[in-house]
Amino acid sequence: MSFNTFGHLFRVTTFGESHGPAIGCVIDGCPPRIPLREADIQPYLDRRRPGQSRYTTQRQEPDTVRIISGVFIDEITGAQVTTGTPIALVIDNLDQRSKDYSAIKDKYRPGHADLTYDIKYGLRDYRGGGRQSARETAMRVAAGAVARKIVPDLKIRGALVQMGPHRVDRARWDWDEVDKNPFFCPDAKLAAMLGDYLDDLRKKGSSIGAVIEVVAEGVPPGLGAPIYGKLDGDLAAALMGINAVKGVEIGAGFRAAELSGEENGDEMRIGNDGKLRFLSNNAGGILGGISTGQPVVARFAVKPTSSILTPRRTVDRYGHETEISTTGRHDPCVGIRAVPIGEAMVACVIADHYLRQRGQVGDTPAWPFAPPAR
């Protein structure tokens, strides 16, 4: 039993390790005739790429993506388009430094998956964490770029909303700020202090966690299926599937436990345009596992990087107590680069549900429905 694939109709399989020659993915089920070039994918990879600021790992990977299959030139338009066959994408690994890991090859980093991979498989690729490494997430970002092209008018944006004890002030939220600072932070004032905060943590040989929020606008109503195919359930699984994620919430999330029914339930009116309008969005755009047409809002908590310089008590694979201190190149806050990864996972899930909805119900009559004839 192996699980390197997710999605039903938009199906993504990834392969590769941190220090292998390349990483890649195969996307099966992408509809035909969608314009697709490397240049459509690369900007998203560039946002996740390591080594872009001193606040992320200094591993230098250009992350240049190649489309290996699944595209052809459309004779009529001259554009390169998807053919409906599997789309294979590959990125070469160019900056491996496997010797950085030789000192810890028999020891288990507290908080990392070294122990459990060894228990499960009886061996592990210790070079950069092998398959446990978030290097694999580059392929999710690539798949997410393809997914974004499937749902018309879909807009998915992510932001870092908390690092350690520091939270954004939502009154200062500005989406334009997100790409202006190295933290994907929508609050310029908070972003201005996070650099010093992280420098200090790094000097101490430490690391810190973060919370990321992803907002998907333009999600058509009706996506998601009761009961085992809920949109929120699939989003939670996809986001929890990102390395280091320890919590996911949708809409009001855990705060909903503090609310009364009248505070929580999103009231409805008819807008001047005759369309349904919600007065709030505690549901995070999903009711009964089915999208309402409101923005889908998901948040996820990312734990602090486990590979830290500070010596920690641990054991080795031969049953001896020992200490470990991890050198090498690591993100002091892996939550930063998790922002484009979270966006990509949301894009893949929504694209999958969009195709599933089309497959099951095709065109449904438009809401509001006509009253019965008397």
Ligand X SMILES: Cc1cc2nc3c(=O)[nH]c(=O)nc-3n(C[C@H](O)[C@H](O)[C@H](O)COP(=O)(O)O)c2cc1C
Q: What sign results for the dihedral spanned by CA atoms 115, 117, 121, 127?
A: negative
Q: Which two tokens stand for residue 157?
A: 């944006």
The CB density around residue 83, as the number of other CB atoms within 10 Å, is: 17
CB nearer to ligand X: pick between 129 and 289: 129
Distance CA 258, CA 190 (A): 27
Closest CB 345 distance from ligand X, rounded Å: 11
Does residue 339 sit in helix, strand or coil? Answer: helix
Q: Given the rule CB under 6 A, which residues bind ligand X?
A: 57, 112-113, 132-134, 137, 242-244, 303, 305-307, 330-331, 334, 337-338, 341
Closest CB 183 distance from ligand X, rounded Å: 13
Distance CA 184, CA 186 (A): 7
Closest CB 32 distance from ligand X, rounded Å: 32
Closest CB 196 distance from ligand X, rounded Å: 21
Closest CB 99 distance from ligand X, rounded Å: 16
Q: What is the DSSP string of 184-197?
A: --S-HHHHHHHHHH
CB nearer to ligand X: pick between 166 and 312: 312
CB nearer to ligand X: pick between 211 and 338: 338
Distance CA 68, CA 90 (A): 7
CB nearer to ligand X: pick between 187 and 331: 331
CB nearer to ligand X: pick between 140 and 149: 140
CB nearer to ligand X: pick between 36 and 236: 236
Q: Which of 368, 219, 358 is nearest to 287 (CA)?
A: 219
Closest CB 296 distance from ligand X, rounded Å: 21
Distance CA 182, CA 193 (A): 12
